[in-house]
């Protein structure tokens, strides 16, 4: 006779049973702080947007800049909805108390980001519609991921840094006063969200089987390729708004690398994984946006990209700027 396996309890009574020491205990404390910081720093999106619109006398941009900003913000807008869905899913499925609290706090933030950006885009005359192919593919790939680790790394350590890059470029170039002030609140929230990925992802990774680990890295490499295509889809809009595409690309890669380094430090990694990521990033930047500005045929472009990958620190300036 086979014994029937006991079904897991719907109420996780054992969520307090884990004994944590060292890095695990530190990570738990960090995640708990994320929740409480989210409560104390929450802001009223409707009131803030109305206040900023009144302060600056509305939103005033030339038609070409309106169109370019619509396309860039649309990617962020739908990305906020995806982040809302992912964080709500994480809050439901994660068991450790502190990580569940952090994910719950993020879901609340992402909901506010989504509706406030919807209201701002309405001021630009934007009608919500489909995203470009690569940008849509990124969000679909995260939302349909078959493992929490993929959702976590995809949203918090890959997409969030890109969003922070676009926020930084919009503010640096003073694209539109209402948006520039509004994005300061978004940046503060998004920077806090990265803590969930950095502190909880190690727990998920160490539970993976060898097969799951290989599949995870294959999935992440596919995400990197899609993100490159997604940035290239917006190249024309970057130019209209005065954002040098190479600068956007390099800063985005640097922010992702910083997030990867934070994760490696949390895991006690010796730096080999992040060094590989740095070299891949340097090669991709050089391939798409050569340092000397010269456009070469594919074989020579690839050769220059591979040379860049061997350089010790061509992204150091961007890393300082991204910090």
What is the CATH number assigned to the segment(s) 43-243? 1.10.620.20
DSSP 3: P
3-state secondary structure of 7: coil
Counting every residue written for the chain, the total comes to 323
pLDDT at 261 over 80: no
> pLDDT tens digits for 208-219?
888 998 898 889
Asked if 44 contacts 109 with a C-beta cutoff of 8 angstroms, the reply is: no
> pLDDT tens digits for 68-96?
999 999 999 999 999 999 999 988 888 77
**Which is it for the CA torsion 12, 17, 18, 22, positive or negative?**
positive
**Which is it for the CA torsion 259, 261, 266, 272, positive or negative?**
positive
> pLDDT tens digits for 183-242?
999 998 887 777 777 778 888 888 888 899 889 888 988 888 888 889 889 999 999 999
| pTM, rounded to two decimals | 0.81
> pLDDT tens digits for 29-65?
677 776 777 677 889 999 999 999 999 999 999 999 9
Q: How far is CA 288 from CA 49, 223, 242, in A?
A: 37, 17, 18
Lowest mean pLDDT among 120-129, 173-182, 191-200, 261-270: 261-270
Asked if 138 contacts 223 with a C-beta cutoff of 8 angstroms, the reply is: yes
Lowest mean pLDDT among 100-114, 120-134, 235-249, 251-265: 251-265
82/158 Cα distance (integer angstroms) = 13
């Amino acid at each position: 006779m086979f014994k029937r396996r006991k079904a897991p309890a719907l109420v996780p009574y054992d969520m307090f049973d884990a004994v944590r020491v060292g890095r695990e205990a530190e990570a738990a404390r960090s995640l708990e702080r994320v929740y409480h910081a989210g409560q104390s720093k929450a802001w009223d999106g409707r009131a803030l947007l109305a206040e900023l619109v009144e302060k600056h006398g509305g939103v005033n941009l030339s038609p070409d800049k309106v169109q370019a900003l619509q396309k860039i913000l649309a990617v962020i807008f739908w990305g906020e909805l995806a982040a809302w869905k992912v964080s709500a899913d994480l809050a439901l499925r994660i068991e450790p108390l502190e990580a569940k609290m952090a994910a719950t706090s993020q879901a609340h933030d992402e909901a506010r980001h989504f509706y406030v950006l919807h209201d701002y885009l309405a001021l630009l005359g934007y009608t919500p519609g489909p995203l470009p192919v690569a940008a849509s593919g990124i969000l679909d790939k995260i939302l349909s991921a078959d493992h929490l680790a993929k959702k976590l790394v995809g949203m918090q350590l890959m997409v969030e840094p890109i969003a922070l890059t676009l926020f930084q470029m919009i503010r640096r170039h003073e694209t539109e006063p209402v948006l520039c002030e509004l994005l300061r609140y978004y940046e503060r929230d998004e920077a806090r969200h990265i803590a969930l990925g950095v502190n909880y992802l190690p727990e998920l990774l160490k539970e993976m089987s060898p097969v799951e680990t290989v599949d995870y890295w294959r999935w992440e490499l596919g995400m990197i390729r899609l993100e490159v295509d997604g940035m290239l889809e917006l190249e024309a809009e970057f130019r209209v708004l005065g954002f040098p595409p190479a600068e956007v690309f390099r800063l985005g890669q640097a922010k992702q690398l910083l997030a990867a380094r934070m994760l490696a430090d949390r895991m006690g990694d010796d730096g080999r994984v992040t060094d590989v990521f740095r070299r891949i990033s340097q090669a991709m930047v050089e391939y798409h946006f050569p340092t000397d500005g010269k456009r070469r045929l594919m074989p020579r472009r690839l050769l220059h990209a591979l040379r860049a990958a061997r350089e010790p620190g061509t992204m150091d300036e961007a890393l300082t700027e991204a910090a």
